[in-house]
């Protein structure tokens, strides 16, 4: 089986890049991702039984599991499912628990979303399988509902405590638009990207080593900040509720490290709100300045950057046509995202890769465009 055959139905689900709004999702804040034209492609055929035959072409491996024994997390031979197979199996489990029909299928998938680079390769896998099963089952579910079911699969079946942003962006992507997403209310809308700019992603080559302890420490600091601010701001339930003005007035009530972490979140939420206004009026330059400011905050206040990411951002800022640059994703490795004037994009990509190579490193730098969310090819 190959998805290059035009006769086979193929589900396509994009990866995502977050343009602004980092480490605010667990504080109820707004984020600004975009689906990108790096995607998972799943070619599939229905089966008459309850078994799922899968091949991961990029890994040159396969697995078979039974839809009636998903709770066991085992293949049909009784062996534990490999990690990569937990994602489609988890989607089947979440859909079934919702009462949606999940049919046996034979499928092969491949991906152009780099694994471990912070571009949501796992969410893209989940969404590809969810739209395939939606089509096979003949049931209806809007993109946001699919995203929430895929998040449930990753949280409760795979065991990764992710937020909703990754699945949301892969499900709801709109061509040539970023996506404003309020992680508290789940209200969202597409926001047009300036027509003369493109997204360039630079993969540092450093795979993220976000230790659970580092993530948990930052999350705990945010919760501590809320607890310490509540006597002065009784209505506050998360840092998203605190304005920059209120924070500046009350910052001295927080320990130094907690103050740094909280300041990033409060100011990053405000940056996203300001960024929406910039994009609505087509001001790419002002939006780019907010990206640079966001990176400085992630580097200095939240302390999730690394020298390789800082170097990529510094190099990008020195090149013609670069409007903005910042790390994207959780940090501690992965990628930077750059907003670049299209007329300078080719030169930008070449010079950024060359500049990063000079200290003996290697970066994959490539142009991306904001793309459509998960769908069946031809539909």
**What domains can be seen in the chain, in order of their start residue?**
10-191 (3.30.230.10), 198-368 (3.30.70.890)
- pLDDT over threshold 60, residue 187: yes
pLDDT at 336 over 70: yes
pLDDT bin (cut points 50, 70, 90) of residue 210 is: low
pLDDT reported for residue 135: 97
Residue 3 confidence (pLDDT): 45
Rounded to whole angstroms, the Cα distance separating 253 from 251 reads: 5
Here the tokens at position 122 are: 């796992």
Tell whether the model's pLDDT for residue 6 goes beyond 90.
no
Tell me, what's the pLDDT at 171?
Answer: 98
How far is the CA of 264 from the CAs of 22, 313, 326, in angstroms?
Answer: 9, 18, 14
Choose among 44, 40, 46: nearest CA to 12. Answer: 40
Q: How far apart are CA 353 and CA 338, in angstroms?
A: 13
Residues with a known catalytic role: 166
Q: pLDDT digit string (tens) for 293-335?
A: 999 999 999 999 999 999 999 999 999 999 999 999 888 888 9
Query: Per-residue pLDDT for 117 more than 90?
Result: no
114, two tokens: 């780099």
Average pLDDT, the chain: 94
pTM of the model: 0.92
Say if CB 207 and CB 335 are below 8 A apart: no
In tens, the pLDDT along 37-94 reads 999 999 999 999 999 999 999 999 999 999 999 999 999 999 999 999 999 999 999 9
| Whether residue 348 has pLDDT greater than 80 | yes
């Amino acid at each position: 089986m190959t998805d290059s055959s035009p006769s086979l139905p193929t589900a396509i689900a994009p990866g995502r890049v977050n343009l602004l709004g980092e480490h605010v999702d667990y504080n109820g804040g707004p984020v600004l991702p975009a689906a990108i034209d790096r995607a998972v492609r799943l070619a599939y055929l229905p089966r008459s039984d309850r078994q799922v035959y899968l091949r991961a072409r990029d890994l040159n491996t396969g697995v078979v599991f039974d839809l009636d024994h998903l709770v066991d997390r085992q293949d049909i031979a009784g062996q534990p499912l490999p990690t990569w197979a937990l994602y489609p199996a988890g989607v089947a489990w979440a859909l079934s628990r919702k009462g949606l029909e999940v049919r046996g299928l034979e499928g092969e998938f491949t991906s152009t979303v780099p694994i471990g680079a912070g571009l949501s390769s796992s969410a893209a896998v989940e969404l590809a399988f969810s739209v395939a099963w939606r089509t096979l089952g003949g049931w209806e579910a809007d993109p946001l509902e699919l995203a929430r079911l895929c998040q449930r699969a990753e949280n409760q079946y795979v065991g990764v405590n992710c937020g909703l942003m990754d699945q949301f962006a892969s499900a709801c992507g709109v061509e040539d638009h970023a996506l404003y997403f309020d992680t508290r209310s789940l209200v969202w809308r597409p926001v047009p990207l300036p027509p003369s700019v493109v997204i360039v992603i630079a993969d540092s080559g450093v795979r993220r080593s976000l230790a659970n302890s580092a993530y948990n420490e930052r999350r705990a600091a945010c919760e501590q900040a809320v607890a310490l601010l509540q006597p002065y701001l009784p209505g506050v339930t998360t840092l998203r509720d605190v304005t920059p003005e209120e924070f500046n007035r009350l910052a001295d009530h927080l320990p130094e490290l907690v103050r740094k972490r909280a300041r990033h979140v409060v100011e990053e939420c405000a940056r996203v709100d300001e960024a929406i206004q910039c994009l609505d009026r087509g001001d790419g330059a002002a939006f780019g300045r907010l990206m640079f400011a966001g990176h400085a905050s992630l580097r200095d206040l939240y302390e999730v950057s690394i020298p390789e990411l800082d170097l990529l951002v510094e190099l990008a800022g020195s090149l013609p046509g670069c409007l903005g640059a910042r790390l994207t994703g959780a940090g501690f490795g992965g990628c930077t995202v750059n907003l670049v004037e299209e007329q300078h994009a080719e030169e930008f990509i070449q010079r950024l890769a060359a500049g990063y190579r000079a200290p003996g490193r290697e970066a994959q730098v490539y142009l991306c465009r904001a793309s459509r969310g998960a769908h069946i090819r031809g539909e």
